[in-house]
Amino acid sequence: DQMEESDLKFLHRLCQDEGVSLKVTDSQLVIFAQEMFEEKEPIATLTLGVDEIIRYSFSAQSSDLYKSCTCKYRVPKKRKSLAYTWEDPSVEDG
């Protein structure tokens, strides 16, 4: 059950319980078996200052407060995609 934790933290906990990994990339949630990827050879290695990389940055946040949430889904029988956005009026920004 999800209690007093963000959706992402809840999903991350479920993934850990099932022995899989979770990452957010290119605006998508990706769930995968970490061990499979650790066994593979790297496709490429990029080095800052040597390869065509000018700069990079990463950031992480342990807790989030969102103003809105958009759920998109597809109804296969109707061949139609639907979306619904819910906005929390009590949150100013997020």
Residues 76-94 have pLDDT tens digits of 778 888 888 888 888 776 5
| List of the chain residues with pLDDT < 50 | none
pLDDT at 63: 59
Q: How far is CA 87 from the centre of its chain?
A: 20
* Strand 21-25 relative to strand 28-32, pairing: antiparallel
pLDDT at 48: 73
State the Cα–Cα distance between residues 45 and 86, nearest whole angstrom: 41
State the Cα–Cα distance between residues 36 and 19, nearest whole angstrom: 12
pLDDT at 92: 75
Q: Quick one: DSSP state of residue 29? A: E
What tokens does 84 get? 């619904």
pLDDT at 4: 83
Q: Quick one: DSSP state of residue 70? A: E
